[in-house]
Amino acid sequence: MTKKRILSGMRPTGPLHIGHLLGALNNWVDLQEKYSCFFMIADWHALMSEYENPQNIQKNITECAIDWLSCGIDHKKSVIFTQSRVPQHLELAMIFSDITPLSWLERCPTYKEQLREQKTRDLATYGFLGYPVLQAADIALYKAQIVPVGEDQMAHLELTREIIRRFKHLYKDDLFPEPEGLLTKTPRILGLDNRKMSKTFDNFIALSDPPDVIKKKVSVMITDPARMKLTDSGHPDICNVYSYCKIFKPQITSDLYKECIAATIGCTDDKRRLADIIIAHLELIQKKRKKFAADKKQIQDILDEGAKKAQDVASDTMKRVRKLVGLG
Ligand code: TRP
């Protein structure tokens, strides 16, 4: 039996953090064993929001590949590639944009949210409105059946399915399977300031953060605001430090819970302990990171090889698409 095909991607807009590790990468590493996986660095999608300051994208692409490899994404098992190295993404996005009603894009919740939230960027562009159309093309080009994504991407996946259904209806062809989203089971990790973990808020621990930076970042995390004194009883259920401990070292949480309520451990000690846990958790990844970072040529070779493999699949798909839409 042939393996089912997976495609997923990340935008190279800055350093990857523990949210990426827990929410996506750990899952991707497991999926490579059972599926035929395509993991894409979505630089065209990054440019949609970073077009005013694109000078970091190239560096971010390399760093992203280094992070993926250090976390266990294996280029011998999966195809790792950069989106803009495969021009067929744009060709299919163009065709999809012809058949996608404007209203589907205008009512997309992520579009409306980003326009509202991103105060420092002008996202009222033609390209940004089409964000989900390009994403649909990314997925369809590889005929992916499964797309591991976070909750925030589910709306895009639904749009992808709608576009694919419309393509099928118009051109009477089953070329593209309707992809299913795959959510991770890990509970979502909040940012250090209790908001959503994001580059915009600068409230994350990067996979590349050295131990002293991790210590500093953890030391300013918010605990239980009602616990003014060391002798006050804490409320671990509303404490972000506790929720991090639960994610990174579940085996200590029941003791920690009791100690916090009994006020036998203070927040500062608790944070020190958490910082050490995270440092230990990232140690192996950072060791591998150093090795990969020292050999940029290897990273380029891996991305070159990935681009070739992706292009092979993409050009096959586009031959068929061109026939179907009457472009020979
Ligand atoms: N939009 C995705 C994100 O911001 C990245 C992405 C681009 C993607 N193309 C994709 C994810 C295709 C899954 C499939 O996280």
Q: Provide the mean pLDDT of the chain.
A: 95
Which of 140, 157, 190, 186 has its CA nearest to residue 28? Answer: 186
Query: Do residues 168 and 178 lie in contact, with contact meaning Cβ atoms separated by under 8 Å?
Result: no
DSSP class of residue 24?
A: I
Whether 138 is in the pocket of ligand 1, judged by its Cβ within 6 Å, is: yes
How far apart are the C-alpha atoms of 212 and 101, rounded to whole Å?
A: 51
Residue 138 Cα to ligand 1 middle (Å): 8
Residue 93, CB-side half-sphere exposure with 13 Å CA sphere: 21
pTM given for the model: 0.95
Burial (Cβ within 10 Å: 0-12, 13-18, ≥19) of residue 106 = exposed
Q: Is the pLDDT of residue 176 over 80?
A: yes
180-182 and 146-148 strand pairing: parallel
Mutation test of ligand 1: which of 5, 6, 11, 159 has the most ligand atoms closer than 8 Å to its C-beta?
11
pLDDT digit string, tens, across residues 23-35: 999 999 999 999 9
What are the residues whose beta carbons fall under 8 Å from the beta carbon of 275, sequence distance 6 or more? Answer: 211, 214, 215, 218, 219
pLDDT digit string, tens, across residues 185-221: 777 899 999 998 988 889 999 999 999 999 999 999 9
The residue whose CA is least distant from atom 13 of ligand 1 is 8
pLDDT for the residue numbered 239 = 94
Residue 15 Cα to ligand 1 middle (Å): 16
Q: Which domains does the chain have, with CATH numbers?
A: 5-189+296-324 (3.40.50.620), 211-289 (1.10.240.10)
pLDDT for the residue numbered 134 = 98
Whether 108 is in the pocket of ligand 1, judged by its Cβ within 6 Å, is: no
36-41 and 79-82 strand pairing: parallel
Burial (Cβ within 10 Å: 0-12, 13-18, ≥19) of residue 115 = middle
